[in-house]
Chains A and B, each alone.
Chain A
Amino acid sequence: MIEAFDQLFVLLKHWLVSFVPAALQPLASVVLSIVPILMVFPGLFAFMTIMERKGLGRIQNRLGPNRVGPYGLFQPIADGIKSLIKENIIPLAADKLLYTLAPILLLIPALLAFSVIPYGRNMTPIDIDGGVLFFFAVGAASEVSIFMAGWSSHNKYSILGAMRAIAQMVSYEVPLILSAIPVIMMTGTLSTTRIVDLQVPFYGVLPNWHVFTPWGLAGFFLFVISATAESNRSPFDLPEGESEIIAGYFVEYSGFKFALFFLAEYMGLFAVTGLAITLFLGGWGAPFSFLSFVPSYIWFFSKFVVFMLFFIWIRGTLPRLRMDQLMNFAWKFMVPMALINIMVTGLWRFMTPNIGRWVVSLAILVSAYVLLGRGLAQNSGVGKRVYRYGT
């Protein structure tokens, strides 16, 4: 009975595929794997936009949108209709082919990345041997389309925003991949299904998630920070800073193309959240062994919603980083920390499993963090505040 609920969608899919003639069954299977992704994640996107506006409103001591439905819950529908009926302005000097192609080419890798994430037991759409590598490859492929968007608008602010966005994305891709390497080292596989399968069993009651180890915790923090920066999300959203460069590389886009950009950015955020849950938080596994009767996909999407709320919280709380602060942070702090994390993971792998390896790993990571942080802060020239009066 619990099994049936857990495998509900898998059984549903088998049942639906059995109606199709045998020659078309692989095609039907593929379509039935893809269609739920295309339904669920844009739905979560709509949910996140309203949660974000209400949440940011509350953090900023105001109500969010509350006119459209009960407590403003139909606002995403209103936003969708608005973006469809707005006038589609194409600048005269814009490169029409690239201008139209850019939002589409940004959305495709973001949606492709969803296909290797395990959403539940036996629920990975594409179960390949190199799932994590596939994910990073399609993530890297989305950067060219940001450049296309910025350049084809034929607008200096767009090109400036596009260059800054690409510089940021390329810089933060290095700590993103480096912080995922300890997980690959410890699990010995690149397959996302296998990584989750190794985290699901319990130590008695407690879970076996990677985030509860020193290298996993450090890797998790680095991964989440890099993920926030990769998807141009506050506090790393200078390339699209609403108060500085108006919208950076998509300032010339209006109507539905803008909505596609917005969708693609959030899809990227969701994809990398899904990967963070897979690599560090045990995927679809329950936190305690007595809770494993709850279906696996419920756990995955609960962790997902917690992440969404976390990102909204961070956006409302932290100020934006300047471009040079951002790049310094990536190259001078995160890359050394990620490399030290890889070394600590190597130590952890080969030390005997007792309390000693916990102490050693934590000591190395904490001291590295403190020393790097202090060292970089001393060189930044920020000191005590000096007041000068006009006398």
Chain B
Amino acid sequence: MNIIFTLIAAGTLIAAIAAMTLRNLIYCALSATAALGGLALLYFQLDAQFLGLAQILVYIGAVAILIVFAILLTRAADMPEPARFDVPALAGIGVALVVLATLVGALGSSPALRKNGNTIVRGDTAQSPVSMAVIKTPAPTATIAAIGNQMLSRYLVPFETIGLLLTAAMIGAVIIAMPSHRAKK
């Protein structure tokens, strides 16, 4: 395992653990944001540029703000609660362990992991003297054009279904948030 992956993964794990264990709710939200940023860095390290940028744009740019808005508008960061370690907490830990086992099992038996093990073949920016003039990152194997093509040809139905789902969610949110006395106006 190379050093960059270790550093990024350690940072993400520390941020995620902080998001679970900190007492102040706003700190938890910001640690969760940092964990999402760590995930984006992992995507970049794996040469999935589009995915990393989409992660930053969507998660840090929108979901994190949504979380902090939700916290502020409902709780306003009042007294931090003391730590609890009772039966519901133990049940939560049990459920989390079951989910972990499921995920590890699914990932361990996936065909991608069996095919080429740990080799991520990347271009070589550190040695050829020609490439020192402009930092030109190596063209990733899944270019944005290729992703777009696949989304509109092979994965068209999931793409359109997701669009429909998002539209329905937005309309539902607007209807829930609309003031109820609108008809009388």
Contacts and interface: CB of A to CB of B under 8 A. Distances in A.
B130 to A, nearest CB: 11
Contacts of A144: 30, 33, 60, 64-65, 68
Contact of A147 (B49, B68, B139): B68
Contact of A137 (B56, B65, B139, B144): B56
B134 interface: yes
A30 B125 CA distance: 12
A129 B144 contact: yes
B69 A133 contact: no
B135 A140 contact: no
A367 B86 CA distance: 65
Contacts of A14: 133
Contact of B72 (A13, A141, A163): A163
Interface string B19-62: 00000001000100100010000000000011001101100111
B56 A140 contact: yes
A170 B62 contact: yes
Contacts of A130: 49-50, 53, 144
Contacts of B125: 26
Nearest to A138: B56
B49 A148 contact: no
A17 B72 contact: no
B126 A26 contact: yes
Contact of A98 (B30, B50, B57, B140): B30
Given A128-B137, A130-B50, A25 B132 contact: yes
Contacts of A139: 61
B105 interface: no
Nearest to B34: A144
A151 interface: yes
**Chain A CB within 10 Å, residue with most, of B49, B65, B140:** B65
Contacts of B62: 140, 170
Nearest to A188: B145
A166 B56 contact: no
Interface residues of A, number: 41
B136 interface: yes
Interface stretch (A61-69, A118-126, A264-272): A118-126
A127 B135 contact: yes
A159 interface: yes
B134 A137 contact: no
A137 B57 contact: yes
Given A98-B30, A148-B30, A170-B65, A127 B53 contact: no
Interface in B90-149: 125-126, 129, 131-137, 139-140, 143-145
A190 interface: yes
A13 B37 CA distance: 32
Contacts of B50: 130, 133
22 contacts: A14-B133, A25-B132, A28-B132, A126-B135, A127-B134, A127-B135, A130-B49, A130-B53, A136-B57, A137-B57, A138-B56, A139-B61, A140-B56, A140-B61, A141-B60, A144-B33, A144-B68, A151-B68, A151-B72, A170-B65, A173-B61, A188-B145
Interface of B: 26, 30, 33, 37, 49-50, 53-54, 56-57, 60-62, 64-65, 68-69, 72, 77, 125-126, 129, 131-137, 139-140, 143-145
